[in-house]
């Protein structure tokens, strides 16, 4: 028996093929509240919305309070820090997300930042572009090796392990990781060792954060943690900006404690024009592109759409986030 048509609010642009899949079965309103002129349509759709799909906009308690019919939100992201998890759990609203399909792409981005910061790729490419390559470069512009260096990975879920595979199996790097439990990753046996956060910070040449953002991880990297890092170490954040105290990071860079930072994520996004991180000579900043390839964004949209349709049909979607979990 066909499912009864429901009201779906799409709050971020979806590829046409996915929008069509939803529209064949349900009544759709497309309104991205971040786009000029669309906020009113978003607000107007909330009271009747039964399903929502989108990303990059906080679905907080105030938004949920105006959506009394809501039974499922499908996020086109793996991170769920934009959602009022406890309130969704209390109301029994399903939260779907997109684990798995973006793992390798996000690890590629993080590893690109490892390479870019260590070998000063952006700075040196700009030297060529700006006509500054007029003689052989000297030691002042040399980078540092990546292969063989110790990499410390804070958070060892799917993405952390994918970074570890690249580092250990591709670049011969010893891996330290900080996680609640020992990893079940046989391919990394003999290459990766669990460590306390303090030990990891003290021993790693390159520290990479891949943790989800939660109350437990917000502001985790502050002055104490940067102070524990090896002098001249490199810091990479491919997770969420709010895990890092940005003033403490800048201080560590300015004092020379850290050699460089590679950042794909920031406390405020898009990065404010006046942020010192935007122009800092030893920061490589990317506009949150962890999963931003054609292939992966298509796969994320398809998975989020499938989950939404399953939930609206009364089936249990494969990629449901446990809003009642401890990390919630
Ligand atoms: C994610 O999926 O959480 C990525 O950071 C994109 O937002």
CB of 210 closer than 6 angstroms to any ligand 1 atom: no
Q: CA-CA distances (angstroms) from residue 270 to 52, 140, 266, 288, 293?
A: 23, 32, 8, 8, 18
Pocket residue to mutate for ligand 1, from 162, 287, 290, most atoms within 8 A of Cβ: 290
> Has residue 225 got a pLDDT over 70?
yes
- Which among 207, 210, 205 has a CA at the least distance from the CA of 225? 207
Separation of CA 224 and ligand 1 centre (Å): 28
pLDDT tier, 328 (very low <50, low <70, confident <90, very high otherwise)? very low
- % of the chain at pLDDT higher than 90: 98
Q: Alpha helix locations (H) across 52-181?
A: 61-65, 85-91, 103-119, 121-129, 158-165, 171
Return d(Cα 16, Cα 14) in angstroms, integer.
6
Q: Annotated catalytic sites, by residue?
A: 240, 269, 288
Segment 69-94, tens digit of pLDDT: 999 999 999 999 999 999 999 999 99
Which pTM value belongs to this model? 0.95
Q: Hey, whose CA ends up nearest to atom 6 of ligand 1?
A: 77
Q: Which atom of ligand 1 is nearest to the CA of 97?
A: 2
Confidence of residue 318 (pLDDT cuts 50, 70, 90): confident
**pLDDT, tens only, 266-282:** 999 999 999 999 999 99
Query: How far is residue 1's CA from residue 156's CA, in Å, rounded to a whole number?
Result: 44
Q: Please determine, for residue 125, whether its predicted confidence score (pLDDT) is greater than 70.
A: yes
Residue 33 has pLDDT above 70, yes or no: yes
Nearest to 169, CA basis, from 188, 144, 193: 188
- The token pair that represents 294 in the structure block: 């054609």
Span from the CA of 12 to the centroid of ligand 1 (angstroms): 13
* C-alpha of residue 97 to centroid of ligand 1, in Å: 10
Is the pLDDT confidence value at 326 over 60?
no
Q: Whose CA is nearest to atom 2 of ligand 1?
A: 77
Q: Is 152 in the pocket of ligand 1 (CB under 6 A)?
A: no
Tokens of 115: 């390479």
**Of the residues 13, 78, 101, 103, which should be mutated to test ligand 1's pocket, given the most ligand atoms within 8 Å of the CB?**
78
Q: Name which of 25, 30, 26 is nearest 9 in CA terms.
A: 30
**Quick one: angle between helices 103-119 and 158-165, nearest 10?**
50
Q: How far apart are alpha carbons 5 and 26 in whole angstroms?
A: 5
φ/ψ (deg, to 5) at 263: -125, 125
Residue 115 pLDDT greater than 70, yes or no: yes
| Residue 102, ligand 1, Cβ within 6 A | yes
Minimal-distance CA residue to ligand 1 atom 7: 77
Q: Is the dihedral of CA 55, 179, 287, 147 positive or negative?
A: negative
Domains in the chain: ranges and CATH: 7-99+294-327 (3.40.50.720), 103-285 (3.40.50.720)
Instruction: Provide the token pair at 169.
Output: 């199996």
Instruction: Report pLDDT for 327.
Output: 43
Cα gap 230→132, rounded to integer Å: 32
Q: How far apart are alpha carbons 305 and 298 in whole angstroms?
A: 11
**Cβ contact 67:275 at 8 Å:** no
Closest-CA residue, ligand 1 atom 1, reads 77
The CA–CA distances, whole Å, from 65 to 43, 47, 92, 303, 316 equal 11, 9, 13, 27, 24
176, HSE (Cβ side, Cα atoms, 13 Å) = 19
User: With a 6 A CB cut-off, is 214 part of the ligand 1 pocket?
Assistant: no
The atom number, within ligand 1, closest to the CA of 76 reads 2
Residue 239 CA to ligand 1 centre (angstroms):
8
């Amino acid at each position: 028996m066909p499912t009864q048509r429901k009201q779906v609010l799409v709050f971020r642009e979806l590829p046409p093929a996915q929008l069509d899949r939803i529209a064949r079965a349900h009544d759709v309103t497309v309104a991205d509240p971040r786009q000029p002129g669309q906020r009113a349509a978003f607000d107007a759709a909330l009271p009747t919305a039964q399903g929502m799909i989108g990303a990059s906009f906080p679905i907080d308690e105030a938004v949920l309070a105006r959506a009394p019919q809501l039974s499922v939100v499908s996020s086109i992201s793996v991170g769920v820090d934009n959602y009022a998890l406890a309130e969704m759990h209390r109301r029994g609203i399903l939260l779907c997300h997109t684990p798995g399909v973006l793992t390798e792409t996000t690890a590629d981005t993080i590893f690109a930042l490892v390479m870019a910061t260590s070998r000063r790729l952006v700075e040196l490419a700009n030297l060529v572009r700006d006509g500054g390559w007029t003689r052989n470069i000297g030691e002042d512009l040399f980078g540092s090796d990546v292969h063989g260096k110790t990499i410390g990975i804070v958070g060892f879920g799917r993405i952390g392990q994918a970074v570890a595979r690249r580092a250990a199996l591709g670049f011969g790097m010893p891996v330290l990781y900080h996680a609640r439990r020992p990893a079940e990753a046989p391919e990394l046996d003999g290459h990766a060792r669990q460590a306390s956060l303090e030990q990891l910070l003290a021993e790693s040449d390159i520290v990479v954060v891949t943790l989800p953002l939660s109350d437990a991880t917000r502001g985790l990297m502050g002055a104490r943690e940067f102070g524990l890092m090896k002098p001249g170490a490199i810091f990479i954040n491919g997770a969420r900006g709010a895990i890092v105290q940005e003033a403490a990071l800048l201080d560590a860079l300015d004092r020379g404690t850290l050699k460089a930072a590679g950042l794909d994520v920031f406390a405020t996004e898009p990065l404010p024009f006046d942020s010192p991180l935007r122009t800092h000579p030893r920061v490589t900043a990317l506009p949150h592109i962890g999963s931003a390839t054609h292939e992966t964004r298509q796969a994320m949209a398809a998975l989020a759409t499938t989950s939404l349709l399953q939930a609206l049909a009364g089936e249990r979607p494969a990629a449901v986030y446990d809003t009642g979990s401890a990390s919630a």
